[in-house]
Amino acid sequence: MSDSPVKIAINGAAGRMGRQLLAAVAERPDTIVSAAVDAPGQPSIGVDTSVLSGGEATGVVVSDSLQDILSSAASDFDTIIDFSAPKVTLALLDTLKGSGKRVVIGTTGFNPAELDSLYNAAEQMPVVFAANYSIGVTVALSLLRQAAMALGDDYDVEISEAHHHHKVDAPSGTALAMGHAVADALNRDLDQCAVYAREGITGARDPKSIGFATVRAGDIIGEHTVLYAGNGERLEITHKATDRMTFARGAVRAAHWLSTQADGLYDMTHVLGIANLESAK
């Protein structure tokens, strides 16, 4: 393995996560920002990335064209990190086909057809795709599977999540990932058993349903709780994020790990080295 730093590109560099990602890359001596992209017409275009991250000057300016970066040796990169929107992410993957680049995706809100497109693209390039890049959330997902298998159908499952008022999708990608983790462990299909809203006379709870509750308020970075409620006891597994840098650091860690991987779709269990433990359950 080369001792050279991994070269990272940031898509959506001036966004909330983009700025955090720039700062997270700067924390690690084994990674550097070599390219940054933002949407055409944004005030960040042509600006040194240090203006966005608050760090020292990098000499890397924000571009409005990924295609221009790909054709410029001066802006070459190994892996691009993308926290944007589904259509933007899919366009990015299409642009990168055949380029030999790697992609870390933190975008949420994909519909089933968009997910199929993402999975197809990952057959032609190395991709890490996770709903949440927090190390703690990845561990929590493993714990949720263990709890669901041990408790079985005797416990009702409810998932609640809270985020800031800027978040546009609900439930959060992390809440859905938690729902899938529980449903898979219980041999259920989340598409069939999920309940996303309750109002009026709903009747008794279906014992095999998995309920979701969503809060959007203020500047909440991210809070998730999975409740297993049985007769006489409750078990709650909760994760609370207090700093958006948690996600940025996890994504940069994923990008560094991905730099040595073959084509295919990976998630944070692969990055943390616990994928084999998960598949054995």
Rounded distance, CA 55 to CA 36, Å? Answer: 15
Taking the C-alpha atoms of residue 263 and residue 41, their distance in angstroms, rounded to an integer, is: 34
**Residues designated catalytic:** 163, 167
Can you tell me the distance from the alpha carbon of 69 to that of 117, in angstroms, rounded to the nearest whole number? 24
d(CA 93, CA 269): 22
The rounded Cα 149 to chain-centroid distance in angstroms is 25
Cα 69 from Cα 92, distance rounded (Å): 12
- In this structure, are residues 38 and 44 in contact, taking their beta carbons and an 8 Å threshold? yes
148: exposed, middle or buried (Cβ count in 10 Å: 0-12, 13-18, 19+): buried
For residues 60 and 8, the answer to whether their CB atoms sit within 8 Å is no
Q: Which residue has the tokens 């709870």?
A: 205
